[in-house]
Amino acid sequence: MKNIPLFIPDIQDSDIAAVQDVLRSGMLVQGKYVEQLEAAFCEITGAAHAVAVSNGTATLHLMLHVLGIGKGDEVIVPAFSYVATANAVELVGATPVFVDVDTRNWNINTAAIEAKITSKTKAIMPVHEFGLSADLDPIRDLCVKYKLHLLEDAACAVGSTYKEVKTGGNSFAASFSLHPRKAITSGEGGIIVTSDAALAAQLRVYRNHGISYVNGEMDFVAAGFNYRMTDFQAALVLNQTHRLHSQIAHKRKLAALYLNQLKDLNIIMPSDMEYAEHTWQTFHVLLPEGVNRAAVIAALKEKGIGASYGAQCIPDTRFYKEKYGYDAAALFPAAYAGFHRGLALPMYPLLAEEDAKYVAENLKQIIEEIQ
């Protein structure tokens, strides 16, 4: 029987060799490979500065913290994302204010943001969900109008573009995750890119115990975190950055195949937007109402195919429901639908086109039988 998992990272012998070299060198933490990785991310994104840290959640927490966002403040986030987006806001003591998403692209519904801005709002944090950039121009306009920070959770979107500008290339702050479920991975890891030199300097101080140099002498100038990345993690992902664009090209072929094979089904399919090209970190469809997703997942599993839901309706998870008392189905219908009827299909660089075809054929048959 076929065995097609939902996702597997593409780790090659040259990646492993790069890690071994670092392990043998004895220099294990935040050294020259972290610096090289930061330089590589400046190149990939076009950003002026890049700061590598220990994971994607740490990128979000660190940027909110150094910007002084905390108790009494509000940060606008999409209702549909990985929970880490909102958790980072909770971790600094601020309140995440949720805005529903658009089922065509699963990104924040930009038309619904302004109504959620209050005198307490400090930042808008769009997510480039599943590897497709959110529509940034209207969000940028709101940030200028209300003097807010635009902080992009680009965890899934390395290599994507918005109106031909690379994701992170023209950003006050955008952050990426290097978790194994993302396009390229260091195991655990994250990177913040920024156009702002002062912000980059603060991020560097706070990721490393508050260490800074005053008149050439090292001192501890802040109560910082230890959010450093190891050098062997940096070497692991640095080697993968060379394959990033060929991997995205392959995933675009797979996505085209899925879009073509599944087009006659009564499901909502993802697509590129006129302003952004998808990088297909996840291929996520919305099943029709009345189709039992668990049954679809189980039937796919019978055929050796891994599938899962794609992201959470965060206000519908227990912590947020209990803390804020949301009726998520009424308040965030699109996010709620995505959480309960969304289906992520296998999508990764090592997935062969013929296996994607097998996935599509089986999904088609299963949905036709179930309906």
Ligand X SMILES: *Cc1c(COP(=O)(O)O)cnc(C)c1O
CB of 55 to ligand X, least distance (A): 4
CA pair distance 248, 189, nearest whole angstrom = 20
Helix 32-45 / helix 231-241 crossing angle, nearest 10 deg = 30
From the candidates 122, 166, 182, 251, which is the catalytic residue? 182
Q: Which two tokens stand for residue 26?
A: 């004895």
Min. distance of Cβ 155 from ligand X in angstroms? 3
Annotated catalytic residue 182: yes
CA distance from start to end of the chain: 26
Nearer to ligand X, 156 or 299 (CB): 156
> Shortest approach of ligand X to residue 281 CB, angstroms?
8
Rounded CA separation 39/31 (Å): 13
Of 46 and 187, nearer to ligand X (C-beta) is: 187
- Alpha-carbon distance 41 to 142, whole Å? 28
CB of 24 to ligand X, least distance (A): 27
Binding site for ligand X (CB under 6 A): 55-57, 81-82, 84-85, 127, 153, 155-156, 177, 179, 190
Task: Please identify, using beta-carbon distances, which residue of 84 and 337 lies nearer to ligand X.
Answer: 84
Least separation in angstroms between CB 57 and ligand X: 3
The closest of 347, 299, 262, 287 to 5, measured between CA atoms, is 347
Closest CA to 139 of 130, 131, 164, 148: 148
Q: Does the CA dihedral 163-165-167-169 come out positive or negative? A: negative
- Which of residues 55 and 160 has its CB atom nearest to ligand X in the complex? 55
- Looking at the DSSP bridge assignments, the partners of residue 308 are 344
Q: What is d(CA 181, CA 6) in angstroms, rounded to the nearest whole number? A: 10
Query: Which CB, 81 or 194, lies closer to ligand X?
Result: 81
For the annotated catalytic residues, the residue numbers are: 182
